[in-house]
Amino acid sequence: MKKILILVALLLMPSFVSASTIERNVKIQFESESNTIETKIKFRIKDENDYINDTIYETNTKGIFNGKISLDEKTYYVEIVDIPSNIVSYTTSFEVTSNDIVHNVDFDEQQGLISIRRQGIFFLNDTKTYISDIKDAKYQIYAKEKINSYTGKKFAKDELVGTVTTSHGFASMELPFGKYYFKEESIDDYFKDPETYNVTIDLEHIYNDIYISTLHNPLEIESNIDYDLCLDEDITVDDKVVATKGTCYGQKDKYYVPYGRYILKIGSQEQVINFDKSNHSFEFQEDCPEDLIDEDSSDRDDEEDDGTDEDYDYDEDEDDDNVSIKAEYNGTGLGSIEDDINVEDEDQENTNHLPKIQEISNNVEKSSPNVTEISNNKMPVTSSRTNHYSLALSGLMFIILSILKKQ
């Protein structure tokens, strides 16, 4: 009877345990098309209904698993456990047909992008600007935190991640999820951007576009005279004329204009200047006229002045019938000026000379900074000399009147 029960049990076993469920050699390799995997990956195996067991399997640091797993001859699926948000994985299946199973699982890490658009601004005229894409602007990108990438990219905090250079105004770098910062290291022709830019790459910020623009390096002109700055050639950007010859910018201390040839117009004169990297600052100063009297000369005039109001130098021209007296202004005061007094016309009123006197007075006031020039650089006359001429004049007048009475 016992033997009969054992035989029945053996006959019924295939309905409960599949004869194909055996321990098999399994190799599962996680692969990435863009990067080499350098981390351990945890996974489980399931069939169409459920997981085959409660075991969580783990690869080595290269993403490869080698081991023995009890499997039937059917279809199974590989599922990554605790997959990070930046991991892209496709649920893949494999068929068990032999005792040695090799299966590759597509595995990739989601990358983010830092994209930099670099532009420069210069003026076409007083109000209109032009924005140009800049090449060869260099940027260095650093890790703001410790970054561990599943695909082998690992960076310490503040470590240099990479350097990018713009071409036609654009530069970009693909990076794993994490926090970064970058800054401009060098640029030609335009002001360097002093800012430090912080960027976070995650599922909500896969693409990070940063736009940067600054003004062109200035053309600087220092001058004490009025002028106008004008283009002396067409300005071409990317085979396109953006500013034409003859465009003028007025007078400023700094011009944020492109490199080129310009004309500095000073009255009827023109001065050509070439604005480039090595020539960007120019100075134009008007020379002082040579006939200006220096301050020492003016000081000497003041020291020799005795303070009298009548500071005029008299010249006497004597003929038989005519005597004229002239006054020359020596720069110390107007006083009372009479011009060309003719003794023959002594009955004529002095008011006839007022227009000319007024003309002389106006000339002195307008020219007062250089009044010494009007006096032909003559030194002031002392009061004793003035009294001497007055006495001589009085005697001369007396002689002339006596002769006229006798006639």
Separation of alpha carbons 101 and 70, rounded Å: 11
For residue 224, name the pLDDT band (cuts at 50, 70, 90). confident
Q: Answer with the residue of higher pLDDT: 138 or 324.
A: 138
Question: What's 96's domain CATH number?
Answer: 2.60.40.10
Phi and psi angles of residue 203, each rounded to the nearest 5 degrees, phi first: -60, -30
Separation of alpha carbons 90 and 105, rounded Å: 8
Q: Answer with the residue of higher pLDDT: 325 or 270.
A: 270
Q: Are residues 211 and 273 in the same domain?
A: no
Q: Which of 160-169, 189-198, 283-292 has the lowest mean pLDDT?
A: 283-292
- Radius of gyration for the chain, computed over Cα atoms and rounded to the nearest angstrom: 51
CA proximity to 124, closest of 231, 52, 35: 231
Q: Are residues 116 and 201 in the same domain?
A: yes
Q: Which of 189-193, 195-199, 363-367 has the lowest mean pLDDT?
A: 363-367
Mean pLDDT of the chain: 74
Q: Are residues 166 and 73 in the same domain?
A: no
Mean pLDDT highest for which of 88-92, 97-101, 206-210, 319-323?
A: 206-210
Separation of alpha carbons 32 and 105, rounded Å: 9
Q: What confidence tens digit (pLDDT) does each residue in 97-128 have?
A: 899 999 988 877 788 999 999 999 999 988 88
Q: Answer with the residue of higher pLDDT: 280 or 371.
A: 280
Does residue 4 fall inside a structural domain? no
Separation of alpha carbons 114 and 171, rounded Å: 8
pLDDT of residue 248: 92
Mean pLDDT over 248-261 rounds to 92
Domain boundary among 284, 314, 330: 284
Share of the chain above pLDDT 90, in %: 41
Q: Are residues 158 and 140 in the same domain?
A: yes
Domain boundary among 261, 284, 307: 284
Go through 87-116 and write b for each residue having 16 or more CB atoms within 10 A of its CB, e for each that does not.
bebeebebebeeeebebebebbbbbbebeb
pLDDT of residue 358: 32
Mean pLDDT over 15-27 rounds to 71
Separation of alpha carbons 143 and 157, rounded Å: 5
pTM: 0.56
* Tally of structural domains, the chain: 4
pLDDT of residue 15: 44
Q: Answer with the residue of higher pLDDT: 212 or 109.
A: 212
Q: Are residues 187 and 259 in the same domain?
A: no
Q: Are residues 253 and 350 in the same domain?
A: no
Structure token digits, residue 385 = 């000399």
Q: Are residues 133 and 196 in the same domain?
A: yes
Q: Are residues 233 and 208 in the same domain?
A: no
Domain boundary among 44, 74, 109: 109
Q: Exposure of 393 by Cβ count < 10 A (0-12 exposed, 13-18 middle, 19+ buried)? A: middle
Mean pLDDT over 296-325 rounds to 44
Structure token digits, residue 154 = 């690992």
Q: Which domain holds residue 273?
A: 219-284
Q: Which of 126-135, 152-161, 270-279, 353-362 has the lowest mean pLDDT?
A: 353-362
Does residue 28 fall inside a structural domain? yes
Does residue 3 fall inside a structural domain? no
Q: Are residues 127 and 188 in the same domain?
A: yes
Q: Are residues 300 and 400 in the same domain?
A: yes
Q: Which amino acid is at 265?
A: K
- CB-based contacts of 200-206 (< 8 A; 24+ apart in sequence): 201/111, 201/112, 201/113, 201/114, 201/175, 201/176, 201/177, 202/85, 202/86, 202/112, 202/177, 203/85, 203/86, 203/110, 203/177, 205/112, 206/110, 206/112, 206/113
Q: Which of 29-33, 161-165, 357-361, 395-399 has the lowest mean pLDDT?
A: 357-361
Does residue 289 fall inside a structural domain? no
